Amino acid sequence: MFRKILIANRGEIALRILSACRELGIRTVAVYSEADRHALHVRFADEAICIGPPRSSESYLNIPQVISAAEIANVDAIHPGYGFLSENANFAEVCEASHITFIGPTPDAIRLMGEKDKAKEAMAAAGIPVIPGSAGVVPDEDSAKKIAREIGYPVMIKAAEGGGGRGMRVVHSAKELIPLFRTARTEAEQAFGSPNVYMEKLIERPRHIEFQVLGDKHGNVVHLGERECSLQRRHQKVLEESPSVAVDANTRQRLGEQVVEALKKIGYSSAGTMEFLREGSGNLYFIEMNARIQVEHPVTEMVTDVDLVKSQIRVAAGEKLTSVLPVVEFRGHAIECRINAEDPITFTPSAGKVTAFRVPGGPGIRVDTACYADAVIPPYYDSLIAKLISYGHDRAEAIVRMQRALDGFVVEGVKTTIPLHKRILADPNFVAGKFDTHFLEHMTAVETK
Amino acid sequence: MVKSPIVGTFYAAPTVGGEPFVTVGSRVEAGQALCIIEAMKLMNEIESDVAGEVVRVFVENGQPVEYGEALFGIHPHRKK
């Protein structure tokens, strides 16, 4: 087991990793920017080293500074948390070269998952369903017709070099195809200098479902069930839960086993998440893998009673999954609300001094936070100030516990998304489990009218 | 005040056991090397940004330093 770990992160996840280390008897080294001098991860770590000015590019993302700190503190491992350097294959390589264990997957696995096309190809080859589409660029109009007929309408045409909606067209029927194929090519040419487009099946009313996995360094992988993360705003998750009301026991077992087999094939050796889109008809398609611990990991911890961060550290130290996680069982239901320092209606970040901070508690409530009364939320980093997690014997109990916890959560001095969460929890469609990734868009659109 | 621009290990002298770059009382020019900070096996010379007299040395040879840590106090010469 490791003797001393450097935590290359800040905020609630730095504290989460600190707790795991404390329970494992591992000494901790915090790193911080000048803006975080009074942050709790600095106060609670055994040692703390300032690594740069507030801007993260010069501190938390500055590889030489982080590695130097690790060397002067003489640590044997680095935990990157999420964000910052967590999915930087180059950083993982520098750690290896410096004889420091990177607590995460291998640089090769990070690199593979970072290239979305290659990740999709590798997963398809390993037997995971991916969104049906053209294998690469659609060369001409005849091929476009043929491919669209094979995958079935509606289809989406996307610019191969592009992003941000340009060169993108939704085609509902064969008679629309050729004109839209032409405009997509023209637009792609103008916007990205290449007329190349590809085609894939349009997933209507999608739900975002993801599987938590953990692999060890001996070729073993387990899954820890799914999380439902459809409540998003601009691709940022807002509320997550486990299990998903849209995944039945058979699907969980079948897809879970497929995920495990696929990740064994690529030798995945840490915590990670396989993200899927579920279409209205119930089919799930792989979209990408996050090769790190995720923000929403606590909902899985609540329903499995597994400490994912401790497990991740233990497998990084070489322990086998058979000793870390002999059995994985699921019980009850958990929900997580991300409390951000943001205006709950306009979503503009609200940095500043927190004047009052009262955290709810009681049965089935967990709060992961690095915030406190008199803390200053710096404007340089993400706006997450707390994760409020509720657990219940079933979804209904998790919902009412979350409602009373939101009512008892007091934050003054900055605006937060607590009011937004109260509205979500009170929405009849949310309570009924009827939603997709457009739910929040619709809910907030109604309000601004 | 000269602060460390990087995290690393402070060396007062260019060679092990050698004479230190500066000591209290040394007169320095702007751009003159004051010490070395070793980071990731690289030796980085830290230079003075003012001309003046070294009045304090805050760190000891071989000591680890963090970003922004005070290294030297330099009393600048008055401009003529």
In order along its 449 residues, chain A shows pLDDT tens digits of: 999 999 999 999 999 999 999 999 999 999 999 999 999 999 999 999 999 999 999 999 999 999 999 999 999 999 999 999 999 999 999 999 999 999 999 999 999 998 887 898 999 999 999 999 887 889 999 999 999 999 999 999 988 876 666 778 999 999 999 999 999 999 889 888 889 998 999 998 899 999 999 999 999 999 999 999 999 998 899 999 999 999 999 999 999 999 999 999 999 999 999 999 999 889 999 999 999 999 999 999 999 999 999 999 999 999 999 999 999 999 999 999 999 999 988 888 999 999 999 999 999 999 999 999 999 999 999 999 999 999 999 999 999 999 999 999 999 999 999 999 999 999 999 999 999 999 999 888 776 55
User: Alpha-carbon distance A113 to A119, whole Å?
Assistant: 5
Cα A414 to Cα A341, A349, A377, A406, A410, distances in angstroms: 6, 9, 8, 16, 11
Query: Is B67 close to A71, i.e. CB distance below 8 A?
Result: no
User: Alpha-carbon distance A142 to A189, whole Å?
Assistant: 20
Q: DSSP letter for B60, please.
A: -
Sign of CA dihedral A144, A145, A147, A149: positive
Of these residues, A169, A227, A292, A338, which one is catalytic?
A292
Query: Is A50 close to B9, i.e. CB distance below 8 A?
Result: no
Query: Is B8 close to A34, i.e. CB distance below 8 A?
Result: no
For chain B, the straight-line distance linking the first and the last C-alpha, in angstroms and rounded, comes to 21
Written as one letter, the residue type at A45 is A
- Say whether residue B36 is in contact with chain A using an 8 A CB cutoff: no
Q: Which residue of A has its CA nearest to B41?
A: A68
- Say whether residue B64 is in contact with chain A using an 8 A CB cutoff: yes
Structure token digits, residue A301:
């911890």
Candidate from B40, B67, B68 with C-beta closest to A67: B40
Close Cβ partners of B12 (under 8 Å, ≥ 6 residues apart): B20, B21, B22, B35, B57, B60, B61
- Say whether residue B60 is in contact with chain A using an 8 A CB cutoff: no
- Say whether residue B9 is in contact with chain A using an 8 A CB cutoff: yes
Shortest Cα distance, chain B CAs vs residue A3, angstroms? 20
Whether residue A95 contacts residue A64, with contact meaning beta carbons closer than 8 Å, is answered with: no
B contacts of A49 (beta carbons < 8 Å): 7, 64, 66-67
Whether residue A388 contacts residue A406, with contact meaning beta carbons closer than 8 Å, is answered with: yes
Shortest Cα distance, chain A CAs vs residue B38, angstroms? 8
User: Alpha-carbon distance B37 to A148, whole Å?
Assistant: 62
- pTM score, whole prediction: 0.91
Q: Could you tell me whether strands A410-412 and A376-377 are parallel, antiparallel, or unpaired per DSSP bridges?
A: unpaired
Query: Is B9 close to A72, i.e. CB distance below 8 A?
Result: yes
Query: Is B66 close to A69, i.e. CB distance below 8 A?
Result: yes
A278 is known as an active-site residue: no
B contacts of A65 (beta carbons < 8 Å): 6-7, 39, 67
Candidate from A34, A69, A71 with C-beta closest to B68: A34
Query: Is B40 close to A49, i.e. CB distance below 8 A?
Result: no
**Ranges of H-type helices in chain B:** none
User: Alpha-carbon distance A214 to A113, whole Å?
Assistant: 15
What ipTM describes this predicted complex?
A: 0.84
Cα A329 to Cα A243, A262, A306, distances in angstroms: 12, 21, 9
